[in-house]
Structure 1
Amino acid sequence: MLVLSRKTNESIIIGENIEIRIVEVAGKSVKLGIDAPRDVSVHRKEIFEAIKEENIQAATKENLVSLVDFFKNQNT
């Protein structure tokens, strides 16, 4: 893990097109500004983990079987 120190209004660059800027530091809270292309998803980690878990649940065998049955019935 790379650990960097930055002050307000300083930033880091990831790749060639993602910039993360320190917008504000207040007590134990840091506000970040993220400038990234629209095709790059940016989520808080807890939201990302929730989305990933929902996708896993949606892809369970029971749901896939139901989906296959659905499409079979569409062709009849």
Structure 2
Amino acid sequence: MLILGRRVGESIVIDGGITVTVLACERGGVRLGIQAPSEITILRGEIVRQVEESNRRAPADPAAARALMARLAPGAEPAPDATQSARKDAA
């Protein structure tokens, strides 16, 4: 893990296309601004952990997984469903 110190107005650049800027530092936390290409999905860590936990508890239901991702990342392209591909190959 890389640990950097930044002040308000300072930024870091990741892979040449993602810029993270410190907008404010307050007692309870830090406000960050993130500029990234539209094809990059940015999610809060607690949301990712919630999805992972839901996936562990949920039955293997591809439709439910797509619906959950549509709520969390509107406009994101869903991953191809392996079960549909298998059904097409079997037909």
Q: Do they superpose with TM above 0.5? A: yes
Over the aligned positions, Cα root-mean-square deviation in angstroms equals 2.3
What are the equivalent positions in structure 2 for 1:25-36 lying under 5 Å apart?
25-36=25-36
Distance in 2, matches of 1:14 and 1:31, equals 18
- Range with bigger deviation, 50-59 or 37-46: 50-59
TM-score normalised by length of structure 2? 0.59
Identity over aligned residues, as a percent? 33
1:49 shift after superposition: 1.8
1:55 shift after superposition: 4.5
Q: Which has the larger radius of gyration?
A: 1
Distance in 2, matches of 1:8 and 1:49, equals 28
Higher percent of residues as strand: 1
Distance in 1, matches of 2:52 and 2:41, equals 13
Q: What secondary structure is seen at the aligned counterpart in 1 of 2:34?
A: strand
Q: Tell whether 2:47 aligns with 1:51.
A: no
4+ long deviations beyond 6 Å:
none
Q: What secondary structure is seen at the aligned counterpart in 1 of 2:25?
A: strand
